[in-house]
Structure 1
Amino acid sequence: MKYGVIGTGYWGSNHARVASELAAEGAIDDVVLCDVDERRLAELCESYGVEGVTDYERLPEIGVDAATISTPSPTHHEIATTLLERGVDVIVEKPLALDGDDAWSIVETAREHDRTLAVGHIFRHHPALVDLRDRIDRGELGRLKYLTTSRFSFRAPRETTGALYSLGVHDVDVSNYLLGRDPERIYCSLDDAVREGIDETATLVMEYDGATSVINESWQVPVFGKRRDLVVVGTEKAAYVDYLDDNVVELYDSRVTERGGELRVRDEGKQVHTAPNDEPLRAEIEDFVAASRGDGTLRAPGRVGARAVELLEHATRSAEEHTVVSVGERGARTDAMTPRNR
């Protein structure tokens, strides 16, 4: 397999590193990097000893079979559909696109051309979150009731996409991933006091059947340094994950019980579990490479990315209209997808 990496900025350079490691181990054959910044491209190509091109449309011509797209979000639709139409499997960094129509269009193109489409929802490969999902599936937490997520830092807002699409996209998908279903209603509030039109703070409440997920994202909180964490509360136990501590899951054996008509708090302490500490990005790319070869099932297929974008659109509408928005059914194209791309 000849593997391409399109976009070699901060995150794309990490994709280039992992792809080069896989090539050195024989998991893939060759790596080709692509970027319009010739200087940066030349430096990375020299560093990893690989080929480089400045035009992504050349990749099919030189035999690239699969590729990462790690370019600015507004370019995802054009690059992804072009490569899929020309027979290249792709994994697209989140968000898959900036609107639902474009996102489902990419998914439909993959289906029409029988190509593998994955999305870079990397937290589906986070060791602690994978371990937590397994525990939820085994019933250790009981029925999930409440989730809350915080992603806080202090920095200037980006020029292109706000906190909702840059950060919230992760946690919207994580909520669906852990609960195994879509929300029924969304309420969202956005703040853009620093850079007009670019939200630096996003607050979402997503209501599921029997559960609520509260998501807090901000680039304007200097209190915690960098904070990324998740609390999941079930009827039997609660869990805590610090995303910055990749492989640790804390379980709290705490719940409220009723006896003789009286409510009592039962607290039997905390257990700390350590999951295998695999690098999430490497696990994500290995998952994609295996699916591209027909050897595995994607943890984050195209439809997952498209649905996340749809939910962000609902959240944006909620913020604009200052109202709770009913989510409704998934995109109409979902039912037509083949197993390869679902």
Structure 2
Amino acid sequence: MIQLINIAQIGVGYWGPNILRNLISNDDCTVKTVVELSAERQEFVTSLYPTVDVTDDVESVFKDSQIDAVVIATPVATHFDLTTRALESGKHVFVEKPMAKTPEEVEEIGILAKKNNLVAMVGHTFLYNAAVRYLKKLIDSGELGEIRYIYSQRLNLGRIRPDVDALWNFAPHDVSIIQYLLGDPTPLSTKKQGMDYVQKGIDDVVFLNIIYPNKVMAHIHVSWLDPHKVRKITVVGSKKMVIYDDIADNKIAIYDKGIDRMAILGENMDFDSSSIVQFNHRSGDVHLPKVQFEEPLKIEMEHFIDCILTGNECLTGAEHAHKVVTILAKEL
């Protein structure tokens, strides 16, 4: 019989209830304690899950030897402190995105987790999305050909946050997806441009450009001041192109489109002469594959528990988180 993992969750705010629901329904763990400062949120948890201990004392979690793992769903500014304290107290950690505010902090978390033989995982939920994984298989199979560029749009009218800007609120999703699709490479350069319209010093709209090896470009547009809700990533390959639309009913659309260079017979019986170039504009079928959906957060929580139980490498561990935060934090 597999021993149940005892978990404490810190924070039950905007996204926290969804995490808690999936932990409660997981047969391999039990939620022992929830830490929440808000009396209203405490009552919310107690009303739904009366068997869970609810407290506002975060220290009790770190001191409780029966707790094996801690899930952190608190404001970004608290992530590093709470994560390191949990690791220092011998507990595995799942922390909502981003793992921390700087690459140096994420690196320290990774070192501490490795030293204590513990799991440190970040909540990059879209890497557990069936459509994103389908797109990853398409790329890895070579069906799209050589990847040329990727661009993403994550736009909405609100929800405006006072603690982080639109880049740190939205772009961890897109950066983590692009890194995952491309095999987690190290960018050659990054450049971002944003503007604060509503709150001084907090950018409401940001454009982030990334250059990868092999002439691969990525462009990320995030905004909470847009008239449309958009959650879309376009991947352009030399053979085919794909649109992943998280809002659409058909989340993956594969376009058999492209521009092919045609072999032309030259004067000296040579082909592809630089002075004689013609191109074929190819426009074939659009394929809408059926992708079986399962809640990504459920898969993510199952992966966290599995990594604790089996010691398997975490898909969204500190190494992956470090590259994502580095891209967000620095211009290379």
2:60 equivalent among 52, 58, 61: 58
Which residue matches 1:332?
none
- Give the drift of 1:264: 1.0
Measured in 1, the distance between the counterparts of 2:205 and 2:135 equals 27
Mapping of residues 55-94 of structure 1, within 5 Å: 55-62=57-64, 63-94=66-97
Q: Is the 8 A contact 2:238 2:258 kept in 1?
A: yes
Which residue matches 1:244?
247
- Give the drift of 1:96: 0.7
Q: Confirm whether residue 304 of structure 1 aligns to residue 308 of structure 2.
A: no
- Give the drift of 1:130: 0.7
Which residue matches 1:38?
39
Q: Confirm whether residue 15 of structure 1 aligns to residue 19 of structure 2.
A: yes
Unaligned runs of 5+ in 1: 316-325, 327-342
Which residue matches 1:146?
149
Q: Is the 8 A contact 2:165 2:202 kept in 1?
A: yes
Measured in 1, the distance between the counterparts of 2:239 and 2:309 equals 41
Measured in 2, the distance between the counterparts of 1:244 and 1:128 equals 11
Q: Is the 8 A contact 2:154 2:170 kept in 1?
A: yes
- Counterpart of 1:258 in structure 2: which amino acid? R
Mapping of residues 274-293 of structure 1, within 5 Å: 274-293=290-309
- Counterpart of 2:187 in structure 1: which amino acid? P
Measured in 2, the distance between the counterparts of 1:3 and 1:274 equals 35
Matched positions, count: 311
Q: Is the 8 A contact 1:151 1:227 kept in 2?
A: yes
Q: Is the 8 A contact 2:24 2:30 kept in 1?
A: no
Q: Is the 8 A contact 2:250 2:288 kept in 1?
A: no
Cα deviation digits, residues 71-123 of structure 1 (max 9, x gap): 00000111101111111101111111111222211112111211101000111
For the structure 1 residues 156 and 194, does the alpha-carbon distance in structure 2 shift closer, same or farther, using more than 3 Å as the test?
farther
Q: Is the 8 A contact 2:121 2:317 kept in 1?
A: yes
Which residue matches 1:188?
192
Which residue matches 2:224?
219
Measured in 2, the distance between the counterparts of 1:29 and 1:310 equals 34
Measured in 1, the distance between the counterparts of 2:137 and 2:19 equals 27
Measured in 2, the distance between the counterparts of 1:117 and 1:105 equals 11
For the structure 1 residues 109 and 247, does the alpha-carbon distance in structure 2 shift closer, same or farther, using more than 3 Å as the test?
farther
More helix by share: 1
Q: Scaled by the length of structure 1, what TM-score is found?
A: 0.87
SS of match in other structure, 2:158? coil
SS of match in other structure, 2:181? helix
Measured in 2, the distance between the counterparts of 1:304 and 1:10 equals 24
SS of match in other structure, 2:15? helix
164-173 or 230-239, which moves further after superposition?
Answer: 164-173
- Give the drift of 1:295: 5.2
- Counterpart of 1:221 in structure 2: which amino acid? D
Cα deviation digits, residues 241-273 of structure 1 (max 9, x gap): 112248731111111112223101111120001
- Give the drift of 1:307: 1.8
SS of match in other structure, 1:142? coil
Measured in 2, the distance between the counterparts of 1:295 and 1:131 equals 26
Identity of aligned residues (%): 28
Higher gyration radius (CA): 2
Measured in 2, the distance between the counterparts of 1:297 and 1:244 equals 31
For the structure 1 residues 246 and 31, does the alpha-carbon distance in structure 2 shift closer, same or farther, using more than 3 Å as the test?
farther
For the structure 1 residues 305 and 95, does the alpha-carbon distance in structure 2 shift closer, same or farther, using more than 3 Å as the test?
same
Measured in 1, the distance between the counterparts of 2:329 and 2:249 equals 30
Measured in 2, the distance between the counterparts of 1:305 and 1:77 equals 13
1:4 equivalent among 5, 8, 15: 8
Instruction: Please list every run of at least 4 consecutive aligned residues from structure 1 whose deviation after the TM superposition is greater than 3 angstroms.
Output: none
Unaligned runs of 5+ in 2: 265-276
- Counterpart of 1:112 in structure 2: which amino acid? K
- Give the drift of 1:156: 5.7
Q: Confirm whether residue 230 of structure 1 aligns to residue 246 of structure 2.
A: no
Cα deviation digits, residues 214-242 of structure 1 (max 9, x gap): 110011111x2x11100001111111111
- Counterpart of 1:142 in structure 2: which amino acid? G
- Give the drift of 1:294: 1.9
Measured in 1, the distance between the counterparts of 2:32 and 2:143 equals 43
Cα deviation digits, residues 33-86 of structure 1 (max 9, x gap): 111113311321231222222222212433111121110000011110111111
- Counterpart of 2:106 in structure 1: which amino acid? A
How large is the RMSD of aligned CA atoms in angstroms? Answer: 1.5
